[in-house]
Amino acid sequence: MRAWVETTPAPTVRHAWAWLLQRVFAVDIMTCPRCGGRMRLVEIADSRDDVAGVLGNVGLGPRPPPRPRPALPGQLDLDLDLAV
């Protein structure tokens, strides 16, 4: 005969996203790169419209900058005939 023992699941440990980024990428995203001061979370943007609004508030457009043009054909070919 089996005895049923009620167990409570172990609590899950959840780390803050800043801690996870620090651990994985070795960067402290909560420290200002200019002055070294502590940064704080100002706004969370979790939809396309929210992201566009936040970017507009800081003077950036809602879309990323255009990609650079590809190199012209033959531009990378260096025809260096140095044998004179």
Q: What is the DSSP string of 37-52?
A: PBP-------SHHHHH
Per-residue pLDDT reduced to its tens digit, 1-44: 566 666 777 777 788 888 888 889 888 888 988 899 998 877 88
Please, are residues 55 and 63 in contact by the beta-carbon 8 Å criterion? no
Is residue 43 assigned to a domain? yes
Domain that residue 33 falls in: 17-57
Is residue 71 assigned to a domain? no
Task: Domain count for the chain, please give it.
Answer: 1
Taking 80 as the threshold, does the pLDDT of residue 50 lie above it? yes
